[in-house]
Structure 1
């Protein structure tokens, strides 16, 4: 049983063209994660020959109000068609739309009524996914360092939404970097989320760099995931502390059992 490994192209070799980064990751045996597709030349991404693991699944919108939901559904439909063109396996969502520096375009408090609306919006996302034959994930974020003001940010909140929707078109993108900052107890968190995990993302804390540069025992997390029976994708969404090749090999070593 082996994990499928991927890495975020935008965070590595940042002085190189995106298609070069994607091709390099493919050559090294990694699938490729992307952020927002309008930032890139789609034809160049296709020419790279990369296998794309995940990409942001929307450009604007929110889960928990009528106007935001309509914006989200419209941009998710447009993005899903791009995802199908590139063969992206998972289209990623957040608790609300993110702006510069990952800050929410509209900071919100997740009231009980907003929870109900968010669940309804995610059901509509699943209807769209079923129509277009794509899959979405909902990613947890951290509030203290990177994403203050985002509603439904904690992993336990994302888990509650995904589990309440409970449809195969929506899974959890469990980001352990964000979870370590906001919640901790990563192995038990993985265990609780396991039935709904679509992808696990990793970076070390502090610094958001490759495994082995901070406080998280990623080798222990990898063994625990294997013991739980998880053999799905693991994506490194991290900056390199030094040479990118060395960072990627450290990531590979941590998740090769």
Structure 2
């Protein structure tokens, strides 16, 4: 989502050269060998290419395509593969639905259990990302943070965690610091972008330095990923991201 004027391999080098790990969306259209040769640390990638975790008619496609993507994840050294509560096509629900049912819930639970077994087999954590249904992803049941958290809690598998996206949570629910504290034992990664606009921290209404302090106080030691567009300059966006999540302690009194 940054350095968009450059080929992907060069984007990877720029991000890595700035001291960050790299996260990828759909890897199927890219040369994995060339990505691997870029010298970056890849921390996550999209973990399926078809189907819906919660749809009984298509959930097997999630498992099938996740299994097909495992070799790519292993070649890149990816530790987390990301899935969503529904199949997305260009960011939109493939089969919009506006009511959650018990069948959808149970299908999501069983699909995530199978994905957890697959992840454990290969040393990869499957993360379920919350989405907002107001601005970006209408028509996706069980997409809000409270629902994805409940699903991950119900699965109770060490290789199934929550990808807590605070951009989506701010639009759909707010109360971010309390949400972080409640979800902490089940978080596999936190993703951030500001609201509105989905650009880097410091460009909108979310007080990300306060979020960073709350994470430190809660003892969070995991990954924070910037899933955000650059408002203007990509290098500046990375600097703003780093600044927002650099917690500075006050100097001791003399």
Which position in structure 2 is the counterpart of 1:190? Answer: 180
Alignment of 1:1-257 (within 5 A): 11-100=1-90, 102-108=91-97, 109-257=99-247
Q: Is the 8 A contact 2:56 2:104 kept in 1?
A: no
Q: Give deviations 1:43-74, integer Å, cap 9, x for gaps.
A: 11111111111111000111223331111110
Shift of 1:132: 2.2
- CA distance in 2 between counterparts of 1:63 and 1:110 reads 13
Q: Secondary structure at the match of 1:66?
A: coil
Range with greater deviation from structure 2 (193-202 or 102-111): 102-111
- The structure whose Rg is larger is 2
Report the CA distance shift for 1:65/1:239 in structure 2 as closer, same or farther (over 3 A): closer
SS at match of 1:67: coil
For residues 156 and 54 of structure 1, the distance between their equivalents in structure 2, rounded to whole angstroms, comes to 22
Offset at 1:238?
A: 0.5
Question: C-alpha distance in 1, partners of 2:56/2:136?
Answer: 26
| SS, match of residue 28 in structure 2 | helix
User: Shift of the alpha carbon at 1:231?
Assistant: 1.3
Normalising to structure 1: TM-score of the pair? 0.94
CA displacement at 1:40 relative to structure 2: 1.3
Greater RCO, CA 8 A, separation 6+: 1
Moved more, 226-235 or 57-66: 57-66
Partner residue of 1:7?
none
Gaps of 5+ in 2: 248-254
Any idea what the Cα deviations from partners look like across 1:24-48, whole Å, max 9, x if unmatched? 1111100001100112111111111
Structure 1 gaps of 5+ residues are 1-10
For 1:133 and 1:153, the matched residues in 2 are separated by 26
Output the aligned Cα RMSD. 0.9
Which 4+ stretches in 1 moved above 6 angstroms? none
Normalized per residue, the structure richer in helix is 1
Cα shift readout 1:196-243 (whole Å, capped 9, x = no counterpart): 001000000000000000000000000001100001100000111111
1:4 corresponds in structure 2 to none
